[in-house]
Chain A
C-alpha cells in the first residue's frame, strides 16, 4: 500500500512538498490543511486532493500515514506533536523549531509515539552539495582547509509577514544560514566555535556573517542575506590541501529565457533544471526509508543540533563574542 501523505501549510515549502508528492512512486497525496480552508483550497484543487478543515482534522484522518509540517516555524512544535500523538510519521520543514525547548519536545513526542521525525534539510539532496561531499569523502580534495558558503535571496517578508518577526522565524540566520550550517555538520562534523555578526532591522534589512572554526581545520565563513535583490543565489568554495571546488548558482543555469516584454518572471527560488528536484529526492528518500523501516537521513536530533548551531550564531552576534560549540543533549 502506498504511503498516504497529508500536508500542513501552503507557502513555498508546503506547496513544494505537496507537488513533490504527486506521482511519487510508493506515495499518494491525500489532503492539505492550512490556517484557513480558503488558504488550503487553491493548492488542493490544483493537485486534486481534499482540504482538511484544520490541523487536528488532518492529523485525525485515518487515511493519512505521513504528515508533512510546513507551517510557519513557530507553529512546528504544535503541529508535529499533534501528528505524532495521532500516530503519524512526520516530516517537518527546517528549521525544526524556533527554540531548542520546542525541538526537544518534538523529538520526545515522536519517540514516545514510536513514529519517525524527519527534518527538511533539503540542501543535503542538492546534487552540487552531494558531489562536493563525495569528492571530500574520497580524499580528492585532500584535507579541507577553508570553506566559504553563501546563500541569499530577496526579502521574503513582503509576502510572508511572520518571517520578519524574529520571535517567530529566527530571521535570516534560521531561514537561510541554517541550510549551510547543516551542510557544514554534514561535510565536516561538529565545529569547535562560532563568531557571528548580523544586521537584523525589524521589518527591514537582514544580513549575517559567521566565522566557524573546527578543531585544527577547516576555517569556514558563512553568509546569509535577504538583500540579494537580483534573486536567489548560492555559492561555495571549498579548499583542501590537494585542490579546490567552486560553485556559483548564477553560473550554472542551463536554460535562460528572455522576451521582448522583459525578463522572464521568476519566483523567490528559480525553477530547477533537474529531472527530479531536490525536494522530490528528499521526499522519495524518506518514503523509501519508511517503507524499509529505516530512520530518515536527517532525523529530529540532527535537526535539533543544526538549529542549536544557528542559535549559537545569533547568540554570538548579539553578545559580540565567540561562542564555543557543544553538541546539545
Chain B
C-alpha cells in the first residue's frame, strides 16, 4: 500500500495533539514527525528546523496560530509540499488568496482541516437532501458553541479575532456543502462577556444564502468550564417535506467520575479527524482534488470577515462587500 509521508508544522493549535495522533495511526500515512518553533518536546520525531521536516515530507498539516498559516503554507508550498491547513484558512482574505496562489504556483494541493463534513450523521443529512427526501431546504439553525480554548485564541493578532473566527467556519463550510449553495449576506451580534478578552467570546450569525434559504450559527465560547464536554455541533434543518436534527457529537457515554469530581461525556462516535485527514491524504495519493480546498476555506473565511463588518456597522453585510 502506498503511503504518504506527512508531517506536522507547529503545536500551537489545540487540535495539534489530536492531529499528531491521527497521523501516527492512519494506515495510509507515514508520520514524518513535527516541527515546533517553541522547541517543546512532543510525541513523535521532532525536527529542529522546518526545512528538515519539509524535506522529509510530501505533505504537512499546518497547526500554527491562525495568523501564521500564510507564512507556514507559503514555505511548505515553495518546498513542493502539499498543505492541510488548520481552520480558519487565514485571518484575512488577502492572506487566504496569497496561500491559494502560492500553492497553485507550486503545483501542490491546499486543503482545510474542517472535520464536520466527515461526520456520518452529516453525510446522512447530505444524502437525504440530495435525494430530495426533505424537499427544498428553507432554513438551518446551526450551533457550534464551545468552551474557551485559552492559549492564543483570545489574542486578536495571533487568532485574528475571537469565537467567531474560531468556530464559524465549521458550519459555514458544512452548510455550503450540504445545501450546494453560497452565502450572500451576513448579520452578526458579537460580544465579549465572559472572560474579559479583547475579542468576542459570544456570537450569533444570521445568514442568507443565494437560494433564498437562511441559516444561523451560534459560534460562541459560551460553554461553561463545568460543561461535561468541549462543546458541540448541531443543525436543525427545516425542509419543505421534513425537519432534521443533527447532533454531530451526540454519541457519547455520560461518565460520573467520583475520582475527578466531574461529570463528563466520553464520545464513542467515529473519529472525525481521522476521516478528515484520511480524506485529504487519499486525494493527494490518488492525484484527485482534496475534499475541502483552499477556495472552500476562502468562502467560509469571507463569512467571518463579513460577520465582523456587520457587528461593527450594526447592519447586515453582503459578502460582495468584503470579497
**Taking beta carbons and an 8 Å cutoff, which residues of A are in contact with B?**
143, 145-146, 148, 150, 193, 195, 197, 199, 201, 204-205, 207, 209, 211, 213, 216-219, 221, 223, 225, 227-229, 239, 241, 243-244, 320-322
Contact = CB atoms under 8 A, between A and B. Distances in A.
B238 interface: yes
B220 A146 contact: yes
Contacts, number: 96
A219 B141 contact: no
Interface stretch (B103-111, B201-209, B252-260): B201-209
B138 A321 contact: no
Interface in B69-84: none
A243 B141 CA distance: 23
Q: Chain B binding site: helix, strand, loop or mixed by DSSP? A: strand
Given A229-B242, A243-B224, A223 B194 contact: no
A211 B189 contact: yes
Q: Chain A binding site: helix, strand, loop or mixed by DSSP? A: strand
A64 to B, nearest CB: 43
B191 A217 contact: yes
Contacts of A195: 187, 189, 206, 316
A223 B142 CA distance: 11
Contacts of A221: 141, 204, 216, 218
Given A239-B224, A322-B315, A225 B243 contact: yes
B139 A197 contact: yes
B193 interface: yes
Contacts of A146: 191, 193, 202, 204, 218, 220, 222
B240 interface: yes
Contacts of B223: 244
Interface string B221-254: 0111011000000001010101100000000000
B227 A225 contact: no
B291 to A, nearest CB: 29
Contacts of A225: 238, 243
B222 A211 contact: no
B216 A211 contact: yes
Contacts of B240: 201, 204-205
B152 interface: no
A89 B171 CA distance: 52
B185 interface: yes
B227 A244 contact: yes
Contact of A223 (B187, B202, B224, B236): B236
B52 interface: no
Nearest to A195: B187
Nearest to A145: B193
Interface string B26-49: 000000000000000000000000
Contacts of B194: 145, 239, 241
Contact of B141 (A209, A213, A244): A209
Contacts of B216: 197, 209, 211, 221
Contacts of A143: 193
Given A219-B189, A221-B218, A229-B242, 12 more contacts: A143-B193, A146-B218, A146-B220, A148-B218, A197-B206, A199-B139, A199-B238, A207-B138, A209-B214, A213-B189, A217-B191, A239-B222
A145 B206 contact: no
A321 B187 CA distance: 9
Given A204-B240, A216-B191, A239-B222, A197 B214 contact: yes
A204 B208 CA distance: 21
A209 B191 contact: no
Contacts of A207: 138-139, 238
Contacts of B238: 199, 205, 207, 225, 227
Closest 7 CB pairs of A and B: A145-B193, A197-B214, A219-B189, A199-B138, A239-B222, A146-B202, A213-B189
A241 B193 contact: yes
B149 interface: no
A322 B314 contact: yes
20 contacts: A143-B193, A145-B222, A146-B193, A148-B143, A150-B236, A197-B139, A197-B208, A209-B141, A211-B189, A211-B206, A219-B191, A219-B203, A219-B204, A221-B141, A221-B204, A239-B222, A239-B224, A244-B222, A244-B224, A244-B227
